[in-house]
Chains A and B, each alone.
Chain A
Amino acid sequence: MASLAAPAGTLRPRFPNISLKRLGDALAHGYVWVWLVIFALPFLATLAYSLRTADGVWTLSAYQYVLGSFKENLLLSLQTTVLTIIINLIIAIPAAYAIVRHPLPGKSFILSALNLSLYTPAAVMGVSLVIAYAFLFRIPQTMIGLIAAYVVGTFPLMLVPVIVALRDLPLVFEEAARTLGATRMQTFWRVEIPLLGPGISAGILLTFVIIFNEFLVTLFIAGPSTTTAALRVYNLTRTAGFQPSTAALATTMQLISFVVVLLFFRLFGSRYLKGTYLI
C-alpha cells in the first residue's frame, strides 16, 4: 500500500487546482444567488407588507380577505384560465397535426401569422378587441369576451410546444399500434396523446402563467362583473392606496403561479419549453 501511496504523493501539484476550482464554483454560485435575491426582492417586499399592520404588528389577518371578498376574483381568474386552456387544446392539437403531418403550402408563413398575437402590443390588442367586441360580436364585458381575448392572445403558446413534441414523435409508434389492431381513435388516445404529454403540458403551463396573471388586455375588455384577480389588485391600488390586503392577494397570485411552474418542472422537466420565452 505504501508503494502505491508514494507516487500519488509525488503527482500532487504545487498549487492545489482542486481548491481553485472550488473557489470558482463558489463565485459562480454566489453571483447567481445575488441576482436571484435582487429579482426576488419586490416579491419579498410585498410578502412582508402583507404580513404587517399599520401599527407594525406581524399578522396573517390580511389573508382573510383572500378567502373573503377577493375569493370571487381569484375564482374568476382560475375559471377563465382553465376554460382558455381547454379551448386552446381543442384548437392547437388538430392544428399541430395539420402543420406537422400534412404538406401545407406556405407553412412557414402560416406559422408566422399564427404567432402574430405574441408580437402585438397588449394595448393595441386591447383596443382592437374593444372595437371588435363592441361593433362586431356584441360581447363586451362578459366572461366569454374575456376568454375569447385570452384564446386569441395565447393559443400560439399552446401550439408551439405541441408542434415540437409532434415533430419529435416518430411515426413508427402509430404504425405499430395500427398493425396491432388499434383504430385511428384508439391509437390517438392510447399512444399519441401519452407520448405528446410533455409537449401538451408545456403548452398548458405557458398558457396558465400568462393568463392567470394577465392584466393589460383585461383592463380594456373586463366589466364590473368580470374583474380578475390581477385587475382587482390594480383597481384596489388605484382607489384605496397600498393596503396589506392587496399585498396579500398579490402574494397569493404569485404563490399559485410559482407552485404550478415548480410542479411542471418536477413532472416533465424543461425539454419542451426550449424556444419559448420561459427558458
Chain B
Amino acid sequence: MTRVQLLDVTKRYGSTLAVDNVSADISDGEFVTLLGPSGCGKTTTLRMVAGLVDLTAGQIKFDGQVINNVPPHRRNIGLAFQSHALFPHLSVARNIAFGLEVKGTSKQEIQHRVAEMLDMIELSQHAERMPAQLSGGQQQRVALARMLATDPRVLLFDEPLSALDRNLRDTLKYSILDLQRRTGKTAIYVTHDQSEAFAISDRIFVMNEGRIEQTGTQLDIYLRPRTEFVAGFVGDNNAIRGEVVGVVGGAPGEPGLVDVRAGGMRLRGLDPGNVRVGDKVLAFVRPENIEVILDGEPAEEPNLVRGRIDQIVFEGPTVRLIVDAGGVPIRATSGGIGRLSLLAQEQRNVVLRLQEITVVRDDPAIAA
C-alpha cells in the first residue's frame, strides 16, 4: 500500500550528528528492521518517519510524495512505543477508540471497529478495564490494537518488546509479524536485539553512529558481513587481521574466493569484490563455524589452523574454547555430543577447521 523512501536523511542536534545521510527504499508491504546499538540513530530515524522529529536535511517520501512538512497527525501512521503509552485515564475500549474519535468517525462504526480489534487481540472481556489493571503483555496487545484501529498506511515499532520478559517477547514478536502479514502494511521496526530482527524482518538495516552500515536479508547480514562493525555486532565473530595473497575466481554467478595470510595461518574466504593481492584485510569466522579436531594431523590445506587450547568453559549445550593459534586467540564453540570429549583438555594441541570465512578490506578510515 505504501512505499517509504528516505533520501539523504540527516538529523543534527547542536554539534552531534544523530542521523547521517541515511537513505532507504522500503517497498510496499515490506517488513524492515533498523538494527543497531543504543545511540546509533535508529530511533531518531523512526521518529522522523513518524513526524515527531524534524529533519535537518533530506527528504522522506510516502508513495513518492514528500511528507517532511506533514504533521504527525496527518501522516496516517501507527507507532508502537517502548512503553506501551496507553492513556492511563481511558479504558481499554476508549484507548482503542481514541484514533477514530479524534478523526470524527461515527459512533456506530467506532463500536464496530473496537469490537473487531478487541476480538483480534483476544481481550474482549477486558474492554472496560483500565490499562493499569492489565498485565504487561496485555497492555502491549492493546497498544497494537489501538495503533491498527485507524487502519494506518505505515506501521512503526520503536522497540515495542524491550520492556517485556523473554517468553512474552517471543510470543509477541510473532504476533506482530502475523499482524503485519495479514494486513500487508509496510512496517519499520527498531530494535537492538538481533534475534528479534532475524525472526521477523524481510530486510535488516544495520545502523551504527548515525549511518547505515549494511542492508540485506538475515542471511546476507549474518553470513556476509561487510564491515567490522556488522561482523562484531551481529552474532559473535573472530576478526583476524591479514593480507591478501591470492584471488581465486568463482564459478560463473557465484562469488569468488580470496586467500589471506595471517601470521602462520592461511585462510580462504569469500571475495568482497574490492580487494587485490597485497591489500590489508580482516577475515571473520564465527565461533560456531569452527570445528575442533583433537587428534588432527597438520595439513597444508587452507583453513586448517594449528593451535593450543588455552581455556575451556562448559556452558551446558555448548562448550566454549579459546585456542592460541600462533599468538592469535581464536574463540570456538562446540556443540553436540562431541563437545564432551573436549572437556579437561587444556594445553592440548589441536587443529581447527575454519568454515564460512568472510573477508573485508581493513580500511583504517572506515574503522575510525
Contacts and interface: CB of A to CB of B under 8 A. Distances in A.
Chain B interface size, under 10 / 10 to 19 / 20 to 34 / 35 or more: 20 to 34
Nearest to A197: B89
Contact of A183 (B75, B88, B102, B146): B102
B99 interface: yes
B98 interface: yes
Contacts, number: 67
Interface stretch (A20-28, A32-40, A53-61, A186-194): A186-194
A195 B98 contact: no
Interface in A202-218: none
B88 A180 contact: no
A195 B89 contact: yes
A178 B78 CA distance: 10
Contacts of A194: 89
Contact of B52 (A175, A181, A186, A191): A175
Given A175-B52, A186-B102, A191-B87, A180 B147 contact: yes
Nearest to B101: A190
A172 B83 contact: yes
B208 interface: no
Contacts of B156: 179
A178 B98 contact: no
B189 to A, nearest CB: 15
A227 B209 CA distance: 69
A178 B150 CA distance: 13
Interface in B54-91: 71-79, 81, 83, 85-89
Nearest 7 CB-CB pairings of A with B: A180-B99, A182-B102, A179-B79, A176-B85, A178-B72, A172-B85, A194-B89
Interface of B: 50-52, 71-79, 81, 83, 85-89, 98-99, 101-103, 146-147, 150, 156
28 contacts: A172-B81, A175-B52, A175-B72, A176-B86, A176-B87, A177-B102, A178-B52, A178-B73, A179-B51, A179-B52, A179-B77, A179-B147, A180-B78, A180-B98, A180-B99, A180-B150, A181-B76, A181-B99, A182-B98, A182-B99, A182-B102, A186-B102, A190-B98, A190-B101, A191-B87, A195-B87, A195-B89, A197-B89
Interface of A: 170, 172-173, 175-183, 186, 190-191, 194-195, 197
